[in-house]
Amino acid sequence: MGLKVYVDRMSQPSRAVLIFCKVNGIEFDEVKIDISKGQQRSPEYAEINPMKNVPAIVDGRFKLFESHAILVYLACAFPGVAEHWYPGDLSRRAKIDSVLHWHHSSLRSGAAPYVFNAKLAPLFGLRVNPHVAVQAKTLLIDSLAKIETIWLKGKGRFLLGSSQPSIADLSLVCEIMQLELLDEEDRNQILGPHKKVQQWIEDTRHATRPHFDEMHSVLFKVKEKLAKMSAEGGTAKTHAGNKNQMLSKM
Amino acid sequence: MGLKVYVDRMSQPSRAVLIFCKVNGIEFDEVKIDISKGQQRSPEYAEINPMKNVPAIVDGRFKLFESHAILVYLACAFPGVAEHWYPGDLSRRAKIDSVLHWHHSSLRSGAAPYVFNAKLAPLFGLRVNPHVAVQAKTLLIDSLAKIETIWLKGKGRFLLGSSQPSIADLSLVCEIMQLELLDEEDRNQILGPHKKVQQWIEDTRHATRPHFDEMHSVLFKVKEKLAKMSAEGGTAKTHAGNKNQMLSKM
């Protein structure tokens, strides 16, 4: 039994795991868990990941969830993975762990609720919590400023001053890519001041081509649909037929 | 230059790092960063941890922050650490990483804002966000249920069915200990249904004695003061002199 990767490409940590496998030539079967259909809540999937989210992996008889733990495991378990993704050196590894743990309560806690409250909820006529939206945007902008001034402080093009990407670069950039769903003006306002962050996204994309673009293509398709919906009416009230289908892709 | 550990014992991840060092006989200098005095925001401390929070360590010339990354580093860097804290086996290690990453967006995201909104803010006459309080309590209870039914599912007394504690047990139990600051009735309502969790807290405490009790003593002192304040007036309006001093300990 080979490696199975349970994902939905609309989920940013799912894309990070998929890109990592592709870039490193790890053979795997991609099993789509369609979150728009609630497949992550099925009894069958709960046997694989009782937390009922994506991504998860099954490697032989070994089951694992939480994308950062998966990336670390894959980097260590598959001998073909290049050293720079998760170096054997204890200090360098600890620094990457530090970024990965920081991510949860900062960038992720800002980006995901902001995209939902600023773009998706209004578009689909769902209840927006303005307090949450404001708090999330503040956290998101603060997190990007910290990436710019602290994690990207070094001479290298990647986090921690490295000249090649690690699993932390991949995870954080996939998170930021979710901002593509925002209105162009809003996204530019948020990312605009962070020149190093913008360059780093491009560098990470470039270092993981063509898989980066392939795995993000679904995000850009949804972005196009959202832009069309926005242009047509401002809310999705006139698109009842599309509502569940679209929301299920977020 | 030996190991320096920058902490405030009122911070739950600080206590986890301190207990870990003590239990494993790691020699270190404890440097208090008094968050009640804003010492974490000083320019001197920003040189050690630019994220301006605790804990952080300096080991020789190596600087590190984020408590989970610190625990992993210490477990790997100090040869005297018993295997069970962070086993060398890749699969067992990956499972512990999975718990550590899960912690951020679940237990921690529930417990910390709930304790603040339910107990500390009203007591000090600070603005409470009822929506955040309700959301945080729901997440906290859901996280405890998941620990009970998923992470403590196995036969062992500790997480992942282990017979001895790992760094994940230590981190999560120190987080839950922060609930001691709640009113007794509220705490019992939250923890009461989770019998395995209660036993696990006791088992972790027992496995790390006497350091567990020593490092938590400041928490119990603050708890006593809070109880006294609650009994005297319901809010801290009549305790203006204590307000900054007390809040600074949360």
**B182 bridge partner residues:** none
Q: Any chain A CB within 8 A of the CB of B104? A: yes
Q: Which residue has the tokens 């995201």?
A: B109
ipTM for the complex? 0.93
Asked if B98's CB is within 8 angstroms of A69's CB, the reply is: yes
3-state secondary structure of B137: helix
Asked if B94's CB is within 8 angstroms of A73's CB, the reply is: yes
Q: pLDDT tens digit string along B23-58? A: 999 999 999 999 989 999 999 999 999 999 999 999
pLDDT of residue A130: 85
In B27-67, the DSSP E strands lie at: 28-32, 56-59, 62-65
Nearest by Cα to A152 from A188, A199, A112 = A199
Single-letter code of the amino acid located at B164: Q
Single-letter code of the amino acid located at B151: W
Asked if B104's CB is within 8 angstroms of A104's CB, the reply is: yes
- Which of chain A's residues have a Cβ under 8 Å away from the Cβ of B13? none
Q: Any chain B CB within 8 A of the CB of A68? A: yes
Which residues, at least 6 apart from B241, have a Cβ–Cβ distance to it below 8 Å?
none
Asked if B77's CB is within 8 angstroms of A90's CB, the reply is: yes
Asked if A97's CB is within 8 angstroms of B66's CB, the reply is: yes
B67 close to B14: Cβ distance less than 8 angstroms: yes
Q: Any chain B CB within 8 A of the CB of A102? A: yes
Question: Which one has a higher pLDDT value, A233 or B193?
Answer: B193
Residue A246 — pLDDT band, cuts 50, 70, 90? very low
Number of C-beta neighbours around residue B180 at 10 A = 15
Residue B242 — pLDDT band, cuts 50, 70, 90? very low
Q: pLDDT tens digit string along A216-228? A: 999 999 999 888 8
Q: Are strands A3-7 and A28-32 parallel, antiparallel or unpaired?
A: parallel
Query: What is the rounded (10 degree) CA torsion for A120, A248, A211, B94?
Result: 100
Q: Which residue of A has its CA nearest to B107?
A: A105
Q: pLDDT tens digit string along A116-159? A: 999 888 777 788 888 889 999 999 999 999 999 999 998 899 99
Per-residue tokens: A106? 């900062």
- Which of chain B's residues have a Cβ under 8 Å away from the Cβ of A51? 102, 146, 150
Q: Which residue has the tokens 């190093």?
A: A196
Q: Given a cut of 90, is residue A58 above it in pLDDT?
A: yes
pLDDT of residue B234: 58
Angle at B144 between CA B56 and CA B193, to 5 degrees: 140
pTM over 0.90: yes
Number of C-beta neighbours around residue B121 at 10 A = 19
pLDDT of residue B121: 84
Q: Given a cut of 70, is residue A204 above it in pLDDT?
A: yes
Q: Any chain B CB within 8 A of the CB of A134? A: no
Q: Given a cut of 50, is residue B239 above it in pLDDT?
A: no
Q: Any chain B CB within 8 A of the CB of A73? A: yes
Asked if A62's CB is within 8 angstroms of B91's CB, the reply is: yes
Q: Given a cut of 90, is residue A236 above it in pLDDT?
A: no
Worst-scoring range by mean pLDDT, A129-138, A162-171, B236-245?
A: B236-245
Q: pLDDT tens digit string along A94-117? A: 999 999 999 999 999 999 999 999
What's the gap in Å between the CA of A207 and the closest CA on chain B? 26
Residue A20 — pLDDT band, cuts 50, 70, 90? very high
Q: State the best of A98, A106, A135 to mutate against chain B, taking most chain B CBs within 10 Å.
A: A98
Q: Which residue of A has its CA nearest to B132?
A: A132
% chain A with pLDDT above 70: 92
Q: Any chain A CB within 8 A of the CB of B66? A: yes
Q: Given a cut of 60, is residue A214 above it in pLDDT?
A: yes
Question: Which one has a higher pLDDT value, B81 or B250?
Answer: B81
% chain B with pLDDT above 90: 81
pLDDT of residue A234: 57
- Which of chain A's residues have a Cβ under 8 Å away from the Cβ of B70? 94
pLDDT of residue B67: 98
Residue B244 — pLDDT band, cuts 50, 70, 90? very low
Mean pLDDT, chain A, integer: 92
B226 close to B181: Cβ distance less than 8 angstroms: yes
Asked if B51's CB is within 8 angstroms of A73's CB, the reply is: no
**A5 bridge partner residues:** A30, A57
Asked if B72's CB is within 8 angstroms of A98's CB, the reply is: no
